[in-house]
């Protein structure tokens, strides 16, 4: 049984801070020519934290009244920091010792206490869970806390309201909140648009778990797409995912970099690796020729060095 429905997403659209809502969505002619299909961009980078995570975090924090703890590769932590600062609540974020330094800097600038623990996101998350339990503080978990998916679902609501008549919508898959929210909005509305998840080959746990219909975990991962780098899928997120994702693809690191450069050159957009994976799928696979394809560009937090190395 679904944990949430379209009505919950519609209610969330009335509650979430408007600064995160109604992001740009438009067809891009240069990308159409370059990719051989009609490409509709949904740009989730033009807000105070440069990612979609603000929608779900804002909804989650509205129900909080005590200090919060979370783990993040960077974007969820920024979103939580923005939301808790607005409401005067303390926040502690655990991030990997290898986390993107720009994202860490931004979390701290937004008022969060940031603790660096563990070699990757999932290791940091376990440390955060233990730390919160030892202090009887609430551990807020992206994709397990249903508000994160409900909030992300408002992206789907906005696409549906535009009547774009998409053949396929390509969505990055990390912990699952983004695709689960969007997918639920589309399925409950009766839309015929196919929902396709995209993940990096170096961190395929969610896509492989979806294909196998059971949780598959990894001891390590290797991808520049840190925002969707997950080794240990969340059980609740997998259950949400099974009925709403119609298909899934894995993409290479080379294609991710090529997609970032294409978006920068053709659309003037700085997009981080996690946000570029839908366009990487269009580059790698020819099945989308002549289709009308929506792509979710979910974040744009890059260090100066990454911009220099990957885009310039």
pLDDT at 249 exceeding the cut of 90? yes
Note the pLDDT tens digit of each residue in 195-240. Answer: 999 999 999 999 999 999 999 999 999 999 999 999 999 999 999 9
pLDDT at position 52: 98
- Is the CB of residue 122 less than 8 Å from the CB of residue 227? no
Give all domains of the chain, ordered by start, each with its CATH number: 6-51+149-310 (3.40.50.1100), 53-139 (3.40.50.1100)
pLDDT at position 146: 98
Distance, in Å, from the CA atom of 248 to the CA atom of 309, rounded to the nearest integer, reads 29
Sheet strands (E) in the chain: 25-27, 38-43, 68-71, 91-95, 113-116, 138-139, 168-172, 194-200, 247-251, 292-297
Q: What is the mean pLDDT of residues 285-298?
A: 95
Assign 158 to helix, strand or coil.
helix
Note the pLDDT tens digit of each residue in 93-142. Answer: 999 999 999 999 999 999 999 999 999 999 999 999 999 999 999 999 99
pLDDT at 1 exceeding the cut of 90? no
pLDDT at position 31: 97
pLDDT at 286 exceeding the cut of 90? no
pLDDT at position 279: 98
Q: What is the mean pLDDT of the chain?
A: 97
pLDDT at position 79: 98
Percent of the chain with pLDDT over 90: 99
Taken in order 216, 71, 10, 38, is the CA torsion positive or negative? negative
- Is the CB of residue 99 less than 8 Å from the CB of residue 169? no
pLDDT at position 304: 96
Note the pLDDT tens digit of each residue in 183-197. Answer: 999 999 999 999 999
pLDDT at position 216: 98
């Amino acid at each position: 049984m679904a944990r949430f429905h379209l009505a919950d997403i519609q209610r969330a659209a009335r509650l979430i801070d408007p600064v995160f809502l109604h992001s740009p969505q438009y067809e891009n002619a240069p990308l159409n020519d370059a990719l051989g299909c009609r490409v509709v961009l949904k740009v989730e980078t033009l807000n105070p934290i440069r990612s979609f995570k603000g929608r779900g975090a804002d909804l989650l924090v509205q129900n909080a009244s005590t200090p919060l703890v979370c783990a993040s590769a960077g974007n969820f932590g920024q979103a939580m920091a923005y939301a808790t600062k607005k409401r005067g609540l303390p926040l502690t974020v655990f991030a990997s010792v290898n986390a993107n330094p720009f994202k860490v800097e931004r979390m701290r600038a937004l008022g969060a206490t940031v603790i660096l623990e563990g070699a990757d996101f999932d290791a940091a998350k376990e440390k955060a869970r233990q730390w919160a339990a030892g202090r009887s503080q609430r551990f807020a978990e992206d994709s397990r806390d249903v508000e994160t998916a409900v909030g992300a679902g408002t992206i789907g609501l906005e696409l549906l309201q535009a009547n774009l008549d998409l053949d396929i919508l390509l969505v990055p898959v990390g912990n699952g909140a983004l695709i689960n929210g969007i997918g639920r909005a589309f399925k409950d509305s009766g839309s015929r648009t196919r929902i396709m998840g995209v993940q990096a080959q170096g961190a395929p746990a969610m896509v492989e778990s979806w294909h196998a219909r059971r949780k598959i975990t990894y001891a390590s991962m290797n991808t520049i797409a840190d925002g969707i780098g997950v080794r240990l899928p969340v059980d609740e997120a997998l259950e949400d995912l099974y009925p709403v994702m119609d298909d899934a693809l894995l993409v290479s690191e080379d294609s991710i970099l090529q997609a970032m450069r294409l978006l920068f050159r053709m659309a003037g957009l700085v997009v981080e690796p996690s946000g570029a994976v839908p366009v990487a799928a269009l580059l790698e696979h020819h099945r989308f020729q002549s289709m009308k394809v929506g792509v979710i560009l979910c974040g744009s937090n890059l260090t100066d060095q990454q911009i220099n190395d990957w885009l310039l």
